[in-house]
Amino acid sequence: MLRGMPPHVRAGFPRGPMDHALAQFTAVLVLAAIPLPAGAAASRAGSVPRPDPAAAATVALMTAEPHAALTARDSALHVLERFAYGPSAGQVDAVAREGALAWLDGQLDWYGASDPRLAAIEKCSPALALAPDDWARRFTETRQAVKQGVPPVMARDETRELLDDVRALVVTRAVKADEQLREVMSAFWFDHFNVFLDKGDDRFLLPNFIEDVIRPRALGRFVDLLVATARSPAMLYYLDNVQSVSPENPPPPRPDGTPARRTGINENYARELLELHTLGVDGGYTQKDVIAVARILTGWSMKPPAEGGSYVFRPGVHDFGEKFVLGTRFAPGHGEEEGVRLLRLLARNPATIRHVCHKLCARFVSDEPPDGCVDAAVTAWEASDGEIRSVLRAIARTPEFWAAIDAKMKTPLEFVVSAARAVDAQPDTSARLADAVAQLGEPIYRQPSPAGYPDRQRDWANSGTLLARMSFAVALAAGRQQGADVDLGALLPATGNRDSLVDAVNERILGGAMTEHTRSVIVSELGSEPDPARARALAVGLALGSPEFQRR
Amino acid sequence: MKISRRAFLRAGGLAMMSYGMDPLFLARAVYAQPGGTPAAKPGRVLVCLFQRGAVDGLSMVVPHGDAHYYKERPNIAIPEASVIDLDGRFGFHPALAPLKPLWDARVLAPIHAIGSPDPTRSHFDAQDYMESGTPGVKATPDGWLNRYCQHQREHDETPFRAVSFGPELPRILSGSAPSLGIDNLRAFGLRAPNATTRDRLTRAFEAMYSVAPTGILASSAQEGFEAAKMLQKIAPDRYQPEHGASYPNGRFGQSLQQIAQLIKADVGLEIAFADVVGWDTHVNQGAEQGQLATRLGEFAQALAAFAQDLGDRMNNVVLVTCSEFGRTIAENGSTGTDHGRATAMMVMGGPVRGGRVLGPWPGLEPEARFEGRDLAVTTDFRDLFSEVLARHLHSGSLDAVFPGHEVAPKRYLGALRA
């Protein structure tokens, strides 16, 4: 509907502060276009149609394409901007032919089918060739070298190159992978279970955390992801659980006879587990629960780096006493298994389900997601025992999702990757594009706060970085951005006709989303650029730097 | 408290001359505003500097009167003969010599045994707490300098009100109030191969964003373009420091020079922030010379150059340094120091009641130490920052800037004139 209109009509729609009005308007249109169950019909004339979860589920079942009010291309662009890092060149048409929800189902049901482009990238990565033991060994050697007086800068040179590769992979995979949803969800879960690359041992633990903990479980059951992160040395080190010991079982004195420094629980991981990973800050837990959780998780630790740094449970420092968490009794005498029991309990707590579903809707629908889509996500979670695939499938079938076109502002990572995809850029093996993301304010894997990077508009609409986004857009289109090869000649014919050039840029690069205002500005600027190739680069650069392209 | 001009001259005027500094601002600073609270007026600037990596406060501001210092550091203590004595108990590391005239002129004061109430020895947690202003609370979404800007709205609207110098906007300035991250004044604005292209792109994007579909994108872009245009008028690449000031090479010196540039350009700068790194001296820290001495030398030269360059304008400037924690009292097995607890910070500028080492000194005897090993914290860093905000910027909303911290003027150190 919206995208299908002529640009001058679209430009007239209220947006931004008026997003709510837009959402209402479109939601009504969308609902009007699909068969509604009898119970929901009464709300049609009301302000915000908010079907109860059961009714929403019925809608999803009854209609294969709940977005019938949108054109096929508009629907394709919308799913690609949410469940992928934006369309690659020409992808809007391909997905429009396939059907937006059919494409999404293909992404949801990928289940490890081959992705040759991704495989080619991964084969060339020196970081991916290393096993966890290799990382630990290199890290230990570097540490030894520094102790023996080798200047840290030199000693860490090789490690730094590997870590550059780890950061570069985030961007390269996101740009090139056909299985886009795994990249999107891996980034989502990494922010949910954030780990900080520059904290001590996490320099060598983080790569394994990404590859073996997050990525394989990005679309699976939440409880599996939760248990895997709780057993990952990267998380246990980052949030200090490796230092958390039962006061009743202090660690033995050091060889020189001095007492071990740590002689009590450390609440850091326990608190973040409840606040960020599961229940949410208003999830109804108390300080007593935090302490009980910390006691249950005493002993969840890691081997020293020199011994590989893998996960280990240390019964010697575990608190075997009785505990109560959220009113549930944990009887005395239990070891590691009571931690697993706790994590399962937390994963199935209604507060957790609501908290994580709300966060998913904030990522895929809008910064302040309407109750309708959150309810639908919760229903799907409960029906599937927290299978993320099912939850995403349900979110994509809510009217709220289809009413939220352009409601999100791109994060720096989303902006850089979507721009690279739009012009079919070929990333090289350097970390230059990852550095560009960092310059826009989102250094990959370098968020010290366990809350991860935010993804709301108010966090990213910063004047300095907005100008930097424009500069990146122009440099990328002009072939001046380091780290990526761009051949606009393969995408757009060079033409002396300004109007047809801008129309082609709108169709091929912006998926038809250009407003009449942006169009007139670009056409007018092209008047002072007689050279067809330079005019083409200018038009693409201005389009990628436009307000339309900052949103998704 | 008034200081006689004679006392000032005796204490510092001559030393100042010997460093080629113009003592005029310092003299005025001493005499300015005798007693009473001056009315809030525009042009007041707070410069906040973060020594990332945990600076060794004990070798920066040396407790040379305390025998434990020498006993615990057989290889890396600053020898008594090399210490620049301040008050008989404490003295500067010799690399801080450029700061001595500022001490003598009573516009600089170190604060010792200051730090966070949260005992973490993790760099990232401690930095996070010092920037969020909420020790022990990780979920705080914004930094305390940003919260100050959120609650003090009467300041002139300018894109340069709060500026951080560095590649990213730091936690301390992140939040809903507009703040500008500038990597380099000379490179701010749209990047383009030449001025013609830049002007064309600026024109095009400015027009494009003048009706951007959401208010925040439009206003952010406008702020950015406005800042870029103001900078073009300032012509930052033609800047010459005044009064013979010479900034040290390197990122930190450049940051301070650019802050001075913005102050002199009268673009409405109120809050400036910059990092200075390299303080995590676990190995081969050095004594009078070596790793720490080199870092301190650059640090002191940059601060002295900044004061000299600004001249009289220092009357409206308060500069405060901070670091996430201090280092162990005892040296470790690699002639370095490990993560400790309290450290030393500095406050400098016209409004400062300097020439004194501030903060209760807990002592270095084993029973006075935190966990038996580290310098104990006797001053909560928020009390220093609160005093600076209250007395220099006349902030009336400290409860919102430091939530969960009881604002108590009785705990102020008297670092600034009330």
ipTM of the complex: 0.84
In a domain, A310, yes or no: no
**Does a structural domain hold residue A280?**
no
The per-residue pLDDT for A308 is: 93
Contact residues on chain B for A550, CB-CB shorter than 8 A: 217
Contact A452/B at CB under 8 A: no
Residue A68's pLDDT band, with cuts at 50, 70 and 90, is low
A–B interface: beta-carbon pairs under 8 A:
139
Using the predicted structure, report yes or no on whether residue A94 has a pLDDT greater than 90.
Answer: yes
Per residue in A306-318, pLDDT (tens digit) is: 999 999 999 999 9
| pLDDT tens-digit series, residues A432-483 | 999 999 988 899 999 877 888 888 887 787 777 889 999 999 999 999 999 9
Condensed to tens digits (0 to 9), the pLDDT of residues A487-526 reads: 999 999 888 899 999 999 999 999 999 999 999 999 999 9
Contacts of A545 in chain B (CB under 8 A): 205, 208
pLDDT given at position B214: 64
Shortest Cα distance, chain B CAs vs residue A139, angstroms: 17
Residue B107 phi/psi, 5-degree rounding, is -115, 15
Which of A187, A203, A220 is at the close of a domain? A220
Mind listing the pLDDT tens digit for each residue in B179-229? 888 878 887 889 888 989 999 999 999 999 998 666 778 878 888 898 888
Per-residue pLDDT band at B361 (split at 50, 70, 90): very high
To the nearest whole Å, the CA of B274 is away from the closest chain A CA by 16
Asked whether residue A63 falls in the same domain as residue A185, the answer is no
How many angstroms separate the CA of residue A331 from the nearest CA in chain B?
A: 31
Quote the minimal CA–CA distance from A431 to chain B in Å. Answer: 16
A473 and A545 both lie in a single domain: yes
Answer whether B237's CB lies under 8 Å from B285's CB. no
Give residue A536's domain range: 412-550
Residue A507 within a domain: yes
Q: How confident is the model at residue B368 (pLDDT cuts 50, 70, 90)?
A: very high
Residue B146 or residue A9, greater confidence: B146
Question: Residue A55: inside a domain, yes or no?
Answer: yes
Is residue A452 included in any domain, yes or no? Answer: yes
A193 and A160 within one domain: yes
* Boundary-marking domain end, from A220, A244, A269: A220
- Angle, to 10 degrees, between the axis of helix A350-364 and the axis of helix A371-384? 130
pLDDT at A531 (0 to 100): 94
Which chain B residues are Cβ-neighbours of A514 within 8 angstroms?
none
Give the whole-angstrom CA distance, residue A253 versus residue A258: 6
Query: Per mean pLDDT, which of A62-76, A126-140, A413-427, B135-149 is the most reliable?
Result: A413-427
In the predicted model, what is the mean pLDDT of residues B10-35? 40
User: Which residues of chain A does B225 touch, with a Cβ-Cβ cutoff of 8 Å?
Assistant: 467
- pLDDT of A263 reads 58
**A19 and A59 fall within a common domain:** yes
Residue A350, SS3 per DSSP: helix
pLDDT digits (tens, 9 = 90+) for B372-389: 899 999 999 999 999 999
Choice between A68 and A130, residue whose per-residue pLDDT is larger: A130
Q: Are B159 and B178 in contact (CB under 8 A)?
A: yes
* Residue A530 at interface with chain B, using a CB cutoff of 8 Å: no
> Using 50, 70 and 90 to split pLDDT, how confident is the model at A24?
very low
Mean pLDDT, residues A326-355: 98
User: Residues A133, A66: one domain?
Assistant: no
* Residue with more model confidence, A212 or B231: A212
**Cα–Cα nearest to A317, from A298, A292, A342:** A298
Q: What is the pLDDT of residue B203?
A: 94
Nearest neighbour of B178 by CB, restricted to A443, A463, A475? A463
- As a whole number, the mean pLDDT across chain A is 86
Residue A331 pLDDT > 90: yes
Q: Give B150→chain A minimum CA distance, Å.
A: 14
Please give, rounded to a whole number of angstroms, the shortest distance from the CA of B46 to a CA of chain A.
21
Q: Is residue A382 located within the same domain as residue A504?
A: no
* Contact with chain A for residue B7, Cβ under 8 A: no
- The answer, for B67 touching chain A at a CB cutoff of 8 Å, is no
CA distance A447 to chain B (A): 10
Domains belonging to chain B, first-starting first, are 5-184+245-411 (3.40.720)
Q: Which of residues 28-67 of A touch B (CB under 8 A)?
A: none
Residues A533 and A491 in one domain: yes
Q: Which of A409, A459, A462, A519 to mutate to test the interface with B (most CBs of B within 10 A)?
A: A462
B216 with A281: Cβ contact below 8 A: no
d(CA A513, CA A527) in angstroms, rounded, equals 22
What percent of chain A stands above pLDDT 90? 69
Q: Do B200 and A450 touch (CB under 8 A)?
A: no
Are A500 and A529 members of one domain?
yes
Name residue, tokens 């340094």.
B321
Question: Region B351-358: what's the mean pLDDT?
Answer: 97
Asked if residue A395 lies in contact with residue A82, where contact means CB atoms within 8 angstroms, the answer is no
Q: Is residue A40 part of a domain?
A: yes
Q: Based on the domain organization, do A82 and A193 belong to the same domain?
A: no
DSSP string, B219-288: HHHHHHHHHHHHHHHH-GGG---STT--PPSSHHHHHHHHHHHHHHTTS---EEEEEEE-----S---SS
**What does the pLDDT look like over B53-99, one tens digit per residue?**
899 999 999 999 999 999 999 999 999 999 999 999 999 999 999 99
State the pLDDT at residue A26. 42
| B207–A contact, CB cutoff 8 A | yes
**Sign of the torsion formed by the C-alpha atoms of B5, B7, B11 and B14:** positive
Residue B203, amino acid:
R
| Tokens coding A258 | 């001095």
E-assigned strand segments in A326-437: 328-330, 426-427
pLDDT band at B12 (very low <50, low <70, confident <90, very high): very low
Mean pLDDT to the nearest integer, B35-63: 81
* Maximum average pLDDT range among A147-161, B13-27, B194-208, B301-315: B301-315
Residue A247 lies in a domain: no
Burial B85-114, CB ≥16 within 10 A → b, else e: ebeeebbbbbbbbbbbbbbbbbbbbbbbbb
Partners of residue B187 in chain A, C-beta under 8 Å: none
> What mean pLDDT comes out for the span A134-154?
84
Q: What is the pLDDT of residue A35?
A: 35
DSSP tag of B333: T
The predicted-structure confidence for A536-548, as pLDDT tens digits, reads as follows 999 999 999 999 9
Domain shared by A483 and A451, yes or no: yes
Question: Pick from A345, A378, A403: which residue ends a domain?
Answer: A403
The CA-CA-CA angle for residues A324, A326, A330, to 5°, reads: 30
**Which residues of B fall within a CB distance of 8 Å from A275?**
139
Give the model confidence (pLDDT) of A238-263 as tens digits: 988 998 888 776 666 666 665 554 45
CB contact under 8 Å between B128 and A518, yes or no, is no
Q: What is the number of domains present in chain A?
A: 3
Q: How confident is the model at residue A10 (pLDDT cuts 50, 70, 90)?
A: very low
- Clarify whether residues A60 and A42 are in a common domain: yes
Considering only residues 342 to 381 of chain B, which have any Cβ-Cβ distance to chain A shorter than 8 Å? 371
Judged by a CB distance cut-off of 8 A, whether residue B213 touches chain A is yes
Residues of chain B positioned with their CB less than 8 A from the CB of A409? 214, 217
Please indicate, yes or no, if residue A529 is contained in any of the structural domains: yes
Q: Does residue A377 sit in the same domain as residue A425?
A: no
